[in-house]
Homo-oligomer: A and B are copies of this chain.
């Protein structure tokens, strides 16, 4: 049987320990092609590069493995990989492992998860993996068996049309309890900028923020990873608030 073709990307760049670990796991499952950003692209959301050209550089190639880095965003990487590297849809797209949680609203800012959503939009079974540990020295060793089990399910059963997965791992404290299928927790990053002055007396601002969890539910991804579970949230990209349609229809528009 032919091995599945697996596309790997991330937002922390091709050299991040998270993607290196993910590559090692995925090479056990199929033919792997990596197209990842050449520099960190965290917080890039679903950004694409429309006003500048993109570069693509092949860095490794053998019979079952190819690796490229790309000058663009994670979503650029997916688009360029499909059109110019693979010349077809891969059987699976995996993104990550992100250094830091993409649970709750983090998904909206995340380049790692935006690559996954781009995959789903292009009818590719797609899944993103993130670890609730921002450190460069993070220990990913508890994630491999879960990643394999999840990917094997996807390769066997597929995913429903327009749906991808957001998988978050708890920090590796040797207490991981198993998988919970969750909903996206409701939270908010409250903005708090650090205001400074440059040597010429002009102000500048560093973005900071405080994560405010507004959701006490035990069925959320935030609850799961804080309680030693691996969270899986099925994700779609229909942003319509269907329940609000009747309300807006009642408005009077006197135009």
Q: Chain A interface (Cβ within 8 Å of chain B)?
A: 40, 42-51, 53-56, 73, 75-76, 79-80, 82-84, 105, 107-109, 114, 117, 121-123, 145-146, 149-150, 153, 157, 160, 162-163, 165-166, 178-179, 181, 183-184, 186, 188-193, 195-196, 202-207, 209, 232-242, 244-245, 247-249, 251-255
In the complex, the count of this chain's copies comes to 2
Q: A54-B204, A54-B207 are in contact. Are A240 and B235 (CB under 8 A)?
A: yes
Q: Say yes or no: A54-B205 contact (C-beta < 8 A), given A46-B46, A244-B160.
A: yes
Q: Using A50-B207, A207-B48 as known contacts, say yes or no to A248 and B236 having CB atoms under 8 A apart.
A: no
Say yes or no: A204 contacts B249, CB within 8 Å.
no
State whether A80 and B205 are in contact (beta carbons under 8 Å apart), knowing that A235-B239, A248-B234 are contacts in the complex. Answer: yes
Please report the C-alpha to C-alpha distance between residue A192 and residue B80 in the assembled complex, in whole angstroms. Answer: 8
CB–CB A46/B157 < 8 A: no
A247 neighbours in B (Cβ, 8 Å): 160, 234
